[in-house]
Every structure is written in structure tokens, then in C-alpha cells.
Amino acid sequence: MQAKTTILSLPTEEFVHPGTRACTGCGLAIAYRVGLKALGKNTILVVPPSCLTVLQGLFPVASTKLPCLNVTFASTAAAATGILATLKSQGKTNIQVAAWAGDGGTSDIGLQALSGAAERGDNFIYLCYDNEGYMNTGVQRSGTTPLGAITANTPFKGKLQQKKDVPAIMAAHHLSYVATCSAAYPLDLYDKIIRCKDMPGAKYFHIHIPCPPGWGYDPRYGIKVGRLAVETGYYDLYEIVNGEFKLTAASEKLVEKRKLVPVREYFRAQSRFKILTDEQIADIQNQIDAKWAAYYKKDEQQ
Amino acid sequence: MGTRNYRRKTSHSEHGPGDGGRTGSWRVERPILDKSLCIPCKRNKEACFICWLFCPDIVISRTIPPKIDLEYCKGCGICAEECPTKAITMVDEAEFSKEDKE
Ligand SMILES: Cc1ncc(C[n+]2csc(CCOP(=O)(O)OP(=O)(O)O)c2C)c(N)n1
Ligand code: SF4
Ligand code: SF4
Ligand code: SF4
Ligand SMILES: [Mg+2]
């Protein structure tokens, strides 16, 4: 087991410049910065249209120090496959290919290409940063927008459908590594990327990303909101290594504590959930409690 | 002529700071550090640096004392919110004189 990285042991080399176009208090900026530290300088990035392309900058200035191929929406994972093929033909074996795409670009538009690359066992890391909507184009609902969230095209009743469980879809591809992370826990993200780097085939990351304009909260509370999602048991941090599921970091601690923060606190911290009724929240609380009862039971059996 | 010597050119960017301009001008509140409350300053050794970890814009240095680059700090307030000792407070930009902003 690798030692846990701390703030003091986190590498100081930066791969992102200040002064990006990302919004004030952007959660993606935190996850991206720390994620690149873990991926390291021998990395080629692949990024489809998203807030990340905005953060990365307008031609001819780039805010990222690493080479990046900007591709069309549906083709992220296929483009990663192409880069891998090129590197192979050039005999280069020490370069990490990492695709970073939004939730829209992953759960909806890029899913087919991603599934194909995962099934082929192409050796790269795919990171989906999930701000739970098509944020770059003005907050439209995506497959991973949660139930009840108001978006530009679910303006009155909020989204009526459940969040699509993309990490579970990717786990069904029998990958060597699948992990969920959060921008509020950047060191957990760092350690997970380091852990999976030498594993074979495609590796999948799903990163929860607090987004002030999309979720409706004062930017200063971004980390608090991200943490609440985890501490309420609403969003779980875990990893699946060769099929083996394990809660990690703050979620693992919740099993020890056997105490969740009421999910109401998470919802009431954001304006996008303002139409959720007390009954709806109670319903979601019951689902969370049932999910965690299963985690507790599993823990007792071990 | 023919088509033989046609070259297809792809665009590429050079990396550098300030792609979004001097983003410090977006700020409506300015983070102000009180060294007497800051943990690494008090101990005079490397410690804490929570503000450095969470700053989305990479404008806080990992030094004693932590320094904030106001040219690019967007004033999100995450550093102030996450600092365990409340060493950073957000102050209305209008409080600062015009020269100060330059
Ligand atoms: C084929 C295609 N359809 C639509 C767009 C417009 N578009 C650009 S970014 C974006 C939103 C992407 O959402 P997501 O992947 O979740 O990333 P986010 O903006 O939230 O970071 C859309 C719809 C496009 N560039 N290409
Ligand atoms: S819309 Fe959200 S994810 Fe996109 S740049 Fe702004 S804060 Fe970041
Ligand atoms: S978080 Fe607060 S105490 Fe810690 S280094 Fe930053 S200013 Fe100092
Ligand atoms: S966390 Fe926000 S307010 Fe604090 S220095 Fe960074 S950009 Fe400025
Ligand atoms: Mg999105």
C-alpha cells in the first residue's frame, strides 16, 4: 500500500497557469490542477468541448503546460486510442495518455467511444469531471444531473429522472481500476491516480465537481458543498480494483462512524434544489439510509 | 504547382499565465492574511497550507507567510472559508484605494 499523500508531501510543480477563464471558485480548477500533478509531465491530454476547454484557454494562449489534443464531443476516448496507436508506432512507452471530459461528454455524448476503448483494453486513464450538467453552454441537464435539480431545460420541476450511474457502467466493463473522487478531496484524487497508473487497460475516474453558477451557491462554500455530498452519504468515494469494491477516504470513515449528516443540509446549501419538497428529501434520505445499511452490514461481515 | 506541396497546418497554442486576462479585476472581495493567526507563520515552519491546496487559481504560494498574487486572485473566498484559524478574511475591494489596485 502506498503512503497517503499529505499537503506537505504533495509535489509543488504546477502544470496550470493562473489567470484562467474558469469561473471564480471553480471546483474543476482544483481537481484539474491536482490531477495533473499526479499524471505528471509525461502526459498527453485529450479534451472534448467543455468547461475544461474554456479553462485551458483560447488560441494562441494555453493555460496548461502539457500537450493537449482538443477533439470533437463524441470522440474523446477514440482519440485517446489514436494517440496510443501513434505512440506505439513510434516506440514510445513512457507516455501517459489521459482523457478529461465533462459529464455531458461522458455520460451522454462520448459514452459509445468510451465503452469501445474500455472493451478493447486500451491503456489510458479516462477522467470524467462531473459538475452534473452541461455547464459550459449554460447549465442544461445531462445524464448525470441528479433528480430534482433545476437546470435551464428543467426550469420548473427540476430533473424528473435519476442520475445515471456511469462508474457502475464502467465497472461492468471489468476494468482494472474504477474510482470515484471529489474536488473537495484532492489528495484522495491524487493518490488514486498514482495507484492506478501502472494497471493494465483503461482506468476510469468519476470526479464530483462543485460548480458555483451551475449549482447556485456562494463560491466561497465550494469545498463545504463538495464535502457535504460525501458526509451525507449522497455521493460515495470508492475504488474498484480488479472487481473488488472498497469505500475510501471520507466515505470509509463514515462506515466507522456509522453517522451520516442529513442529506437535507446538502440540498439546502444549493439553489438548484430549492423546489425539492420535504417529502422528496425524506424519500432520498431513505434511499441513502438503505444504501448505507448495506455498507454497514458488509463491514460487519468482514 | 499540383497538390504535392500543399501542407496542412494545425493550430497550436503556447502556454502562459493570464489567458483570461488579469483576472484579479473580477474580484469583488480581497483576501487579507493576518500572519499572527496563520499556523506556518506562528510556528515558523512548514505546516497547514490548506489555502494553497484549495485555491482554484493557484495564486497562493506555499511559503511562510503564504503570499497571494492579487493580479490573478479572483476573490472566490475559498481560502478564507477553509483556513482552520480564520487567518484570511475577505474585504470589500472598494475599501482599497485606486493606487493600491494598480
Ligand atoms: C457535437 C456538439 N454538440 C454540442 C456542442 C456544444 N457544447 C460545447 S460544450 C457543451 C457542454 C458540455 O457539457 P459537459 O460535457 O458536462 O462539460 P461542462 O461544460 O459541464 O464542463 C456543449 C453542449 C458541441 N461543441 N459539439
Ligand atoms: S460553469 Fe462551473 S465547472 Fe464551468 S468553469 Fe464555471 S464553475 Fe467551473
Ligand atoms: S490555511 Fe490559514 S493557517 Fe493555513 S497556511 Fe493558509 S492562511 Fe495559514
Ligand atoms: S482561494 Fe480564491 S480568494 Fe483565495 S487566493 Fe485563491 S482565488 Fe483568491
Ligand atoms: Mg458538465
The 3-class SS string of chain A reads CCCCCCCCCCCCCCCECCCCCCCCCCHHHHHHHHHHHHHCCCEEEEECCCHHHHHHCCCCEECECCCEEECCHHHHHHHHHHHHHHHHHCCCCCCEEEEEEEHHHHHHCCHHHHHHHHHHCCCCEEEEEECCCECCCCCECCCCCCCCCCECCECCCCCCCCCCCHHHHHHCCCCCEEEEEECCCHHHHHHHHHHHCCCCCCEEEEEECCCHHHHCCCHHHHHHHHHHHHHCCCCCCEEEECCEEEECHHHHHHHHHCCCCCHHHHHHCCHHHCCCCHHHHHHHHHHHHHHHHHHHHHHHHC
3-class SS of residue B69: coil
Quote the pLDDT of residue B55. Answer: 98
Average pLDDT over residues A34-61: 96
CA of A213 to the centre of ligand 2 (A): 7
Which residue positions in chain B have pLDDT lower than 70?
1-7, 97-102
- Say yes or no to pLDDT of A1 above 70: no
Given this model, what pLDDT does residue B12 score? Answer: 81
Q: Cα of A90 to ligand 1 centre, how many Å?
A: 33
CB spacing of A10 vs B20 below 8 angstroms: no
State the pLDDT at residue A145. Answer: 98
For the residues A123-138, what does the mean pLDDT come to? 98
- Does residue A2 belong to any structural domain of this protein? no
Closest ligand 2 atom, CA of A27?
Answer: 8
Note whether residue A276 is domain-resident: yes
| Percent of chain A whose predicted confidence (pLDDT) is above 70 | 100
**A132 part of a folded domain:** yes
Question: pTM for the complete prediction?
Answer: 0.96
pLDDT given for residue A8 in this prediction: 98
Best residue in B25, B57, B67, B93 to probe A by mutation, most A CBs within 10 Å? B57
Query: Average pLDDT over chain A, rounded to whole?
Result: 97
Q: Would you call A218 exposed, middle or buried from its count of C-beta atoms within 10 A (0-12, 13-18, 19+)?
A: middle
A14 in a structural domain: no
User: Number of structural domains, chain A?
Assistant: 1
Tell whether A9 is covered by a domain.
no
Name the residue in chain A with its Cα closest to that of B22.
Answer: A19
Q: What is the CATH number of the domain that holds A185?
A: 3.40.50.970
Q: How far is the CA of A212 from the centre of ligand 4 (A)?
A: 14
Residue A168 lies in a domain: yes
Most B CBs within 10 A among A6, A7, A68, A228, hence the mutation to make, goes to: A7
- A205: in domain: yes
Residues with CB under 6 A from ligand 3: B 33, 38-40, 48-51, 66, 83, 85, 87-88
User: Which residue has a Cα nearest atom 4 of ligand 4?
Assistant: B79
Q: In this prediction, what percent of chain A has a pLDDT beyond 90?
A: 98
Q: What pLDDT digit, counting tens, does each position of A78-95 carry?
A: 999 999 999 999 999 999
The per-residue pLDDT for A269 is 98
Distance from CA of A147 to the nearest CA of B (A): 27
What's the pLDDT score for residue A302? 83
Q: Given an 8 Å threshold on Cβ–Cβ distance, is B16 in contact with A58? A: no
* CB-CB neighbors (< 8 A) of B62 in chain A: 12
Quote the domain boundaries for residue A119: 27-301
At B24 the pLDDT is 97
| Residue A102 included in any domain | yes
Residue among A221, A251, A249 nearest A234 (CA): A251
The pLDDT score that the predictor gives to residue A235 is 98
A and B: number of Cβ contacts within 8 A:
116
- Chain B CB contacts of A58 under 8 Å are 19
